[in-house]
Amino acid sequence: MTGALKFMSILVLACLVFASNGEAAQKVLFDNAHGERFQIGDKGPLQLSGLAEVFQGAGLQTAVIDQPFTDATLSGAGALVISGAFTPLLPSEVEAVARFLQNGGKLVVMLHIAPPLRSILDRLDVAYTNGVILEHENVIDGDPLKFKVNRLEAHPVLTGLSDFSLYGVWGVINRTEAARVIASTSPNAWIDLNQDKVQTREETASIGVAVAGDLGKGSFLVFGDDAIFQNKFLEGNNKTLAANLAAWLK
């Protein structure tokens, strides 16, 4: 075997080993350092073990990060998932995540309560509503907090979907052209400012529920609801959404 052929054989072998081990770009970190109550290691109805299994079935590694975000703690991962955080990120953590994105990482944020994630959303130039959304259309089980959203834009994570279900969602919207709304409510949705589940004086509008964007070499997704991937709701189109998300992360 010539030297050139031997080198090519070694290179191909190295690539195969990298792919089979699923390193760097194939590793997804789930945040567990900011008061998250819904975990990938638990099997309960509101937990995220099913989402982790979907990711693993797609060839991704999943791991938990229970330390503050730094360049070191994020090193070696290709993606970071922050789902249902209850405590804010420190300014230094926000900048570490920004560098992670700028260097080519991917970020997925799912909101349970929006205010704790304000710092990272501000860094992404994504704003959120001052309350959760209620709907008049496509309501689930007669509860206006639960509804299907079918106004979807072109994005890999929405491939093949006609709709998906939400179970208590904050509105989200991009503030710059570096991001865009990819899923939104009907024009008859509203924010329940007085929390009576009745639309009276509140204005109705089509409100974003998912935003996609880029920062540096990396990309991010923000979903206004963290229940969409919980075990209890991980079925039908929501499970397809999870599979598409796994493919996008790869």
3-class SS of residue 50: helix
Whether residue 17 is contained in a domain is answered as no
Joined tokens for residue 215: 């920062």
Q: Mean pLDDT of residues grouped by 10 in the chain (250 residues)?
A: 43 38 69 97 97 97 98 97 98 98 98 97 97 96 97 98 98 97 98 84 94 98 98 98 97
Q: Are strands 208-215 and 179-184 parallel, antiparallel or unpaired?
A: antiparallel
pLDDT at 35: 97
- Pinpoint the alpha helices (H) of 103-235: 118-123
pLDDT at 7: 37
pLDDT at 2: 53
Domain enclosing residue 81, as ranges: 24-249
Q: Give the global pTM.
A: 0.89
Cβ atoms of 223 and 170 within 8 Å: the answer is: no
Whether residue 15 is contained in a domain is answered as no
Whether residue 183 is contained in a domain is answered as yes
151 phi and psi angles, rounded to 5 deg: -95, 90
Whether residue 116 is contained in a domain is answered as yes
The residue with tokens 């792919």 is 19
Per-residue pLDDT tens over the stretch 31-59:
999 999 999 999 999 999 999 999 999 99
The domain tally of the chain equals 1
Q: Are strands 79-83 and 106-110 parallel, antiparallel or unpaired?
A: parallel
Whether residue 77 is contained in a domain is answered as yes
CATH label of the domain that carries residue 34: 3.40.50.880
106 phi and psi angles, rounded to 5 deg: -120, 145
Angle between helix axes 49-57 and 236-249 (nearest 10 degrees) is 50
Whether residue 124 is contained in a domain is answered as yes
